[in-house]
Structure 1
Amino acid sequence: MEPQPRYVWMAELLRRPILSGELAPGDRLPSRSRLARAYDVSEQVSRHALRLLVNEGLVEARPGAGYFVRTPPDVHRFPRTDRFSGAGVGPLHTSEYDVATERASGGLARRLVLQEGAAVFRTRTVGTAEGEPVAVHTAWEPTALTRGTLRSPVDAPEAGVLERLAGVGVGVDRVVEEVGVRPLRAPEAASLRLPPGRPMLVVERTHYSQGRPVETSDLVGSVDQCRLVYRLGLTRPRWRRP
């Protein structure tokens, strides 16, 4: 087995009192030079060790002040199996709701199986907690489904997608989700007040009717604040007498 790098060893020694609660949120860690002397390593090793803990979200670096144990962020849990198939920002508060008409292209056109340039309704919703944006939900659906009715996202903003589409005779019978991490894009970054490019948790959800995609959406949130909750029903195995 290859020897463990010194900075990984040192990070583990610093990690233990943080995870155990011996060091509380807000506590200041010793400086890089003091850590180097205490653990008999170079400052480069102590710098890498602290950087590792920063990347793990356990420590924050404050310019000019040093390194501090990070206060754990509030975690928000998003139920993914509710009967309404609600893909919005609940349980967060809705602080922004915007509907516009766009032209589908590239990946969006493929997700909805539309021709390039087909018109779609784009709905963007921002979810907040204590006034701070946490997640943004962007949904797209072909305008041909509900335009000219009272069931479009423009005319029925409070209705869920299942209810709206059912009102025009489109019954959703399947939902598919893909969960992953990707860089934050510019429109989402503006809504979340974060710099573009930051890794974010993304849930791609698509609603189908008789094999045809009728709506697709992205739920984008911070990887350290958002959790997805899935409740899965299981079929009990039949007991047989031996």
Structure 2
Amino acid sequence: MIVLKNLTKIYRLRGQRKIVMDCINAVFPSNMSVALLGRNGAGKSTLLKMIAGTADVTSGEILSDGQISFPVGFAGSFHPDLTGAQNTRFVARIYGVDTESLSDYVQDFAELGSHFHLPIRSYSSGMRSRLAFGVSMGLKFDTYLIDEITAVGDAAFKHKSRAVFLDRMETSGSVFVSHSIGMLREMCQAGAVLENGKLHYFDDVNDAIECHSQNMNIG
């Protein structure tokens, strides 16, 4: 379970003050996949990063009774001068899992071939994404934070990624961001809509999608 208590996020840029989240209170239940919807720039990715602990809140707090993933597919935290294998082993040590087991899983899953043993700085963006998704899925979390995994890899890799994600959802929950409404309907049970700094939670993902559609039409 993830609890947002009076969560506020404010950016200041060139003297301008932008409220991205305005005293939000919400509960994301355990073992539930929740679609997070909102227009571009609404703050969806920022919220995921704050839940993951990689971005600071301005005020309020985020509470959880389980282990939360870093944003799945996010490759920005890899060290560019280390190889894919070295980065994978480093992450394994951080999370206290067997380094060789995770390395073997990621090497097989990410389909990087010899590039797995080359520095990350030599990777294409797609290769980085495949590595990041493989590392994410190789670790067991209570809640996975998903940000546009549909953009990862070719059709075959997307199919494999979806299959392993659904397997993880048998015992875990997620907060799921995607521009694909069809994927949100397939993957999620509940939904939350971020609009003008406010978050509205819906027990039925279809109600969340309808609310988001109305916001887009009005805007």
Calculate the TM-score normalised by the size of structure 2.
0.23
Calculate the TM-score normalised by the size of structure 1.
0.22
- Structure with the higher helix share, 1 or 2: 2
Which of these two proteins has the greater Rg computed from alpha carbons? 1
Which structure has the higher relative contact order (CA within 8 Å, separation 6+)?
2
- Structure with the higher strand share, 1 or 2: 1
